[in-house]
Structure 1
Amino acid sequence: MTQAASTGALAGLRVVDLTQMLAGPFCTQVLADHGADVIKVEAMTGDGTRLTAPFCEDDTLREYGGYFQSVNRNKRSIAVDLKTAEGVALVRKLIDGADIVVENFRAGVMERLGLGWETLRESNPRLVYGTVRGFGDPRSGASPYANWPAYDVVAQAMGGMMGITGPDRHTPMKIGPGVGDTIPALMLCIGILSAVHRVRETGKGQFVDVAMTDAVLAMCERIVYQTSYTGVAPGPEGNRHPLLCPFGLFRARDGYVSIAVANDPLWEKLAAAIGRPELGTDPAFATNAARVANVQQVIDLLEGFTSVRSKEEIAGVLGGKVPFGPVCTAAEIFADPHYAVREMLVDVEQPGSAQRVKIAGVPVKLSDTPGAVRRRAPMLGEHTDEILLAAGYGRADIDHLRAAGAVR
């Protein structure tokens, strides 16, 4: 693991993390990457993703697999039973000493525990309270689906993303990674940090609410204005772009490459690079409007060049001249020097295994206060004593909480 030269831009912020699965943990991990002290409050059995594969072959401990490792680094873990009065009181004490609390329970759960926003702000008026739910919190607008559970695929489907993704207009398709979770997570980060900035000016915290479906729709912004301006709802568009040409994927001898021509000067450069400079001034192709009208001809011309060459050969011709990139497999990413020099493949310890594993690094690079992967994901309750001692509990108090089954 790399050691940051500083403690990160968010050093000094304390976050009580009551989230699980992907959206909430991804949000709090971003805060932790940049120096926030994130206390992950888990149930006595732990976040359910601890049980999710893959595991290392030699891992006999099975404390957690790749899923949990990849979205919970840089955090400290405390295991608490929120079904006990002692456990709830403990979490309330932690929140009273925090800057931020983040949760992704269904609406109403925190209120039933006596840990709702209105209650918490009475004793901690500077608190920023962040939530991410499938359809948002009723405080911001009571969705008719507010009580529906939701995961990534639900947000992708209802937020409009699947509706414009697929091989043809009749076949919607799920996006590969869990963007229905990670996009809302990033939106929640923006909201939380905006509210933290406001606290510094006013001393007053606020409630930050992100609906997974809303966040996905915001990222699919084009479907809103296209429908509004034209009266026609866009559908799946395969590997092409409905408004720009050429802009998408093209067959290579050993896979696919992406080529993105967003204006006419780029088309001239592309035409020259593939040895067809006359196409740059041909009226049938010289303007984007003409290329969109003759899209299949453009595709056939380009694939006549790309399909007989390897991705590496095409890169030698187009790389650096026009927006271009090969469609990379994970194996190719692992071998690509770009990701090594950018520290985007980070080695971490895997408890229970003799081998180290790789997880994705920190993509946001700050010049003076860089974020970093400073520690692996925590084992369940690994920091319980440490956290409680810092919160003012004595050893006898901690022993009592354990005996009462309130903590692990």
Structure 2
Amino acid sequence: METALKHPVDEVLPPARLGLLGLQHVLAMYTGCVTVPLVFGAAAGLDTHTIGLLVNADLLVAGLITLLQALGIGSVLGVRLPVVAGATFTAVTPMILIAGQYGVQAVYGSMLAAGVFGILIAVPFARAVRFFPPVVTGSVITVIGLSLIGVGAGLITGFDSAPDYAAPSRLALAFGIVLAIVLVGRFARGLLGQLGVLIGLVGGTLVAMGLGMTDFSGVGGAAWLGIAAPFHFGAPHFPVAAVISMCVVMLVTFTESTASMLAVGEMTGRAVTSRDLARGLAAEGVSGVLGGAMNGFLDTAFGQNVGLIGITKVRSRYVTAVAGGILVVLGLIPKLGAIVAALPGPVVGAAGLVMFATVAALGIGILGRVDFENTGNLLIVAVTIGVGLLPVVAPKIYHSFPAWAQVIAGSAITSAALTAFVLNLLFNHTRRNI
């Protein structure tokens, strides 16, 4: 009887299902997660070996924070929902600028300081949850999904300078995987029906191997065990401008993650209270502390994994706890990480395309509960989507803005979140005197 009364979020699935579903979450977010250290490392002029250490640290911290979000620590840390954490793209530009002006030691010093700042402000920030009604969360989640579709498309087509850019073989492979996911979702039942994305990834990789589209040459040279020592680059530095910049990034990340956590609450049927949200945001603050000390990165709740929950309908937080454990293992064993990193772009992109679109569909579903009659909500949604997608359709639109402004306005998710938040205050929390 006790098991029957247990909420699906707290349900512990059989080990085989936990393992497969957890692996599916890892495969869904891996490429997005490791892209941040790859981009930052290249821009900061780091050598290949050092970038590899950053990738390991990135996965390790993401795994620890994912475990923290799923299992929690008392009444202090962790939202206790199926949330998967990964490195946020919001921090990439500020980190590159800080590295260029103050050095890599300042990057990790400012990240550590921002982590402490995030832990301290988690509770007051979470108390603003009443300012995130469906008109705000639905608009932002819709933009999150739509803005990420371009990432999936880029993985499918490859670089526009490559000879095989958008080659028929790449497109055929990608659309074949999408078709496989659709067919599994339509005709399979039980556990098999929940593994459509994983089946698409594995099957697509096997087909890609037959077509000569895979390259696992880097796997042999990767070590079986490796982790960078804390403060690999030396004692952290704390320039005031760098610290302020990273604290702004933390606030922006909180805005993004609030929408994602509320979305997971919607999908799982467990309402997210301000206390739950505060614990979840505090865990992200911990990612800054761990990232600053362990050469990692600030983490956020990954949108593609929110979409995966919508596809599989699996609500157990223990599934993402397993995903966190797998990420920790990948962070400690570079050779395993290299295998996953070698998945062909069209394969990962096709799976991402379905998941990102699912996130957008979830946002549209939330907007279906919004009252559009005799309110300003329709305008809120319209302007939010328009402003949010501007940097997606015109990536260089804010190139003449100061660097700090580009961090905010140039991010589709961030600009959408701030636009929806401000417009909701204007239309729904202020009196009309005219």
- TM-score normalised by L of structure 2: 0.20
- TM-score normalised by L of structure 1: 0.21
- The higher-RCO structure (CA 8 Å, 6+ apart) is 2
For the pair shown, the structure with the greater C-alpha radius of gyration is 1
